[in-house]
Structure 1
Amino acid sequence: MSDAHYEATYLVETPLPLEAVAEVMAGEQSCGTFTRVEGETDELRERASANVVAIRDLGEVAQPSVRSSWLDRKGLSTSSRRGEVVVRFPIANVGVNLSTLAATVAGNLFDLGEVTGLRLEALKLPSAYRKQYPLPQHGIAGTRRLTGVTQGALIGSIIKPNVGLRSEEIASLVARLCAAGLDFIKDDEIAANPVHAPLSTRIPAVMAAVRRHQDRTGKHVMVAFNITDETDAMRRHADLVAKESGTCVMASLNWCGFSSIETLRRSTDLVIHGHRNGYGALSRHPGLGIGFRAYQTLWRLAGVDHMHVHGLGGKFAQADDEVVESAKDCLTSLCDADDRVMPAFSSGQWAGTVEQTYSAVNTSDLLFMAGGGIMAHPGGPAEGVASIREAWRAVEAGESIAGARAKHRSLADAFSFFSEH
């Protein structure tokens, strides 16, 4: 692959010959349409057309993933086959334009009549092209520097109850969580700027609690304020966080869109914590949508520093191997610079999921978040944090969790309580 092209890998499902459908895909997303048109010269096609560079037949499927009225009209509703298709696109067709890059690799292809399923799996970008987009402003190293956590996993929690608490109540809870020993605290994705706890009062109240804790202990706890909103409001919210000595903001990526996150990245030096809520609508069907490898590539081009990957043994539908691969994708550079982002593990996490997490990803360069796993601990939040920290200490030292449980009450109590839930 030259520096003038990028490649997209797809899972394609169709009753038609894979080779024919792959050519339709390449034409539809570059300079072609269903028939050659005036002005579509050989020189233009040579310069602007996308090309199919690989096809791998994956065999027949039991039934089509979705129905196609186009195939019905053609009388072609027979059994479908799946295949992996790699298409190479000219960078010149897109330029440095993230929204158009996404529209090219994940746009009308999903509506093609020839397919009964299509999934964007991966994007491969030349290093020079990737570096024309923002690199993470902070990423792993910057997050460690701002929190003072030089080694080991960062331990975090989420404001619970998700919504309903008033600003002063949230500030009181944050003070308690800071005292419990957390490195990171975040808002829930559905708690952005509610009437009962507007950001205009919540940010100053919470950061006053964080600063008091820092004055006592020297530790600055990172708080990810959910500033999800329209673009101008997000910028105002981020400015207030910075004014109050905050270090992080959170946004619901799918609902803000690429342009909002790109604008936010240009307008603030804060850490951007990328929350992927809604991603299941794009990915949960194995034959449709966008796989996480491609998804996180696009959002990393927007400039996020953290990406949610869900959690092992958690409460959501993703299989553990998908969670692990997602984390590894975040921890893999896309170019010859360090553009890794910190994977954020969340959803049903507690001390009992630490061992399998560390064994699977083999690193502590991650954010391990537990809501109920900390705040529902029978000994209270401080014991919840202690149980998770002890679990991480044990696995990083190569010790057994069973042995650690015998020596540490907080860990033993966590297993006694959460194993039954």
Structure 2
Amino acid sequence: PLLGCTCKPKLGLSGKNYGRVVYEGLKGGLDFLKDDENINSQPFMRWRDRFLYVMEGVNRASAASGEVKGSYLNVTAATMEEIYKRAEFAKEVGTVIIMIDLVIGYTAIQSMAVWSRENNMILHLHRAGNSTYSRQKNHGINFRVISKWMRMAGVDHIHAGTVVGKLEGDPVIIKGFYNTLLLPKLEINLPQGLFFEMDWASIRKVMPVASGGIHAGQMHQLIHYLGEDVVLQFGGGTIGHPDGIQAGAT
């Protein structure tokens, strides 16, 4: 699996301190850090400042380790024009991955997937807002359907549940989400909630992401339930380490 981490505290850091968290985490051995879904462009840290400081941290950590590192830059904004502007700036400063929130809407998600393909960029989708229509049992949309839509839309990563941790759920059902994102052909599997066959043909798979209240002590459970084709993101579980961020990342 790839190892990542969400920057914490999610709100309140200055751009410079935010970049320091990114550097410490990557230097400690992580592959990625990421913006949280509600980090956007607030008075304490405007988006341009964050992008510049984060990429300084990424570049320094890459040079020190000799490895390819990255940090998901959240380009979510109120209008499509602003999203494109932030994505173009992210490309200019050298990132390999950008991030959007599910709440920007399905048309905007597909537009960003097309832009990312054309600009050789990895597109990470944070499922912010998902619970507003997937948690209710008697109405709404199951996350399995969202998984299919997002695979069709062309995103590269999506948060798909953890089994353990804050976003825990039924292990069999969550395995169904992962299979929906990863398998070239779905077979009927009623316990996983897969009610009919589906051949994905040439549609790319999506890398599932496990994130939310998990830590390295749960690694054996995560690998057992979710497999190895996954991004594991330990946010507070890394940054909250008593010996510091680098120690937590290592």
Which TM-score band applies after superposition, normalised by the shorter structure? 0.7 to 0.9
SS at match of 1:289: coil
> 2:96 aligned with 1:240, yes or no?
no
Return the structure number with greater relative CO, CA threshold 8 A, min gap 6: 2
Question: Where does residue 258 of structure 1 map in the other structure?
Answer: 106
Give the counterpart letter for 2:229 in structure 1: D
Q: Is the 8 A contact 1:231 1:264 kept in 2?
A: no
- Are residues 1:282 and 2:133 paired? yes
Task: Supply the RMSD in Å over aligned alpha carbons.
Answer: 1.6
C-alpha contact (below 8 Å) 1:312/1:349 kept by paired residues: no
Match of 1:391 in 2: none
Distance verdict in 2 for CA 1:247–1:385, change over 3 Å: same
Q: Secondary structure at the match of 2:201?
A: coil
Q: Which residue does 1:295 correspond to in 2?
A: 146
2:40 aligned partner = 192
Shift in Å, 1:212: 1.8
Which residue, 70, 73, 78 being the options, matches 1:222? 70
Query: Is the 8 Å Cα contact of residues 154 and 204 (structure 2) preserved in structure 1?
Result: no
Conserved? CA contact 2:27–2:64, under 8 Å: no
Report if aligned partners of 2:162, 2:168 keep a CA contact under 8 Å in 1.
no
Deviation at 1:322, TM superposition (A): 3.1
CA contact 1:224–1:273 (8 Å) conserved in 2: yes
- The higher radius of gyration belongs to 1
Shift of 1:385: 2.6
Matched-pair contact (CA < 8 Å) for 1:223–1:248:
yes
Q: Distance in 2 between matches of 1:315 and 1:208?
A: 31
Query: Does the Cα contact within 8 Å between 2:15 and 2:50 map onto a contact in 1?
Result: yes
Equivalent AA in structure 1 for residue 28 of structure 2: A
Residue 125 of structure 2 aligns to a residue whose secondary structure is strand
The list of structure 1 runs, each at least 4 consecutive aligned residues, that deviate by more than 4 angstroms after superposition, is none
The aligned residue for residue 396 of structure 1 is none
Match of 2:165 among 309, 314, 317: 314
Q: 3-state SS of the aligned residue for 2:99?
A: strand
TM-score of the pair, normalised by structure 1: 0.53
Tell me which of 305, 312, 337 is aligned to 2:202: 337
1:87 is matched with none
Q: Secondary structure at the residue paired with 2:68? A: coil
| Distance (whole Å) between structure 2 residues aligned to residue 313 and residue 212 of structure 1 | 33
Match of 1:382 among 240, 246, 249: 246
Instruction: Confirm or deny that 1:325 pairs with 2:189.
Output: no
Residues 217 and 351 from structure 1, CA distance in 2 versus in 1: closer, same or farther, beyond 3 angstroms?
Answer: closer
State the match for 1:94 in structure 2: none
Instruction: Note closer, same or farther for the CA distance 1:290–1:341 as it changes in structure 2 (3 Å cut).
Output: same
Letter in 1 for 2:57: A
Q: How many residues align?
A: 232
**Structure 1 CA distance, aligned partners of 2:205 and 2:59?**
29
Between the aligned partners of 2:61 and 2:91, the Cα distance in structure 1 is 18
> What residue identity is the alignment partner of 2:236?
G
Over residues 314-349 of structure 1, what are the superposed CA-to-partner deviations in whole Å (9 max), with x where a residue is unaligned? 113633333332222211235222611100000111
**Percent of aligned pairs sharing the same letter:** 28
User: What's the offset of the Cα at 1:216?
Assistant: 2.5
2:28 to 161, 173, 180: 180
Displacement after TM superposition at 1:281 (Å): 1.6
What SS does the aligned partner of 1:344 have?
A: strand
The code of the aligned residue for 2:80 comes to T
How many Å separate the matches in 2 of 1:256 and 1:191? Answer: 14
* Residues 8-64 of structure 1 deviation map (CA, whole Å, 9 limit, x = unaligned): xxxxxxxxxxxxxxxxxxxxxxxxxxxxxxxxxxxxxxxxxxxxxxxxxxxxxxxxx
Q: In structure 2, do the counterparts of structure 1 residues 237 and 380 end up closer, same or farther at CA, with 3 Å as the change threshold?
A: same
Question: 1:178·1:210 contact (CA, 8 Å) conserved in 2?
Answer: yes
Aligned to 1:196, what secondary structure does the other structure show?
A: coil
The 5 A counterparts of 1:6-405 are: 153-229=1-77, 230-253=79-102, 255-268=103-116, 269=119, 270-316=121-167, 318-333=169-184, 335-337=200-202, 339-361=204-226, 363-386=227-250
Residue 414 of structure 1 is matched in structure 2 by none
The secondary structure found in structure 2 opposite 1:329 is: helix
**Letter aligned with residue 60 of structure 2:** R
**Aligned residues of 1:350 and 1:373 also touching (Cα < 8 A):** yes
Q: Secondary structure at the match of 1:290?
A: coil
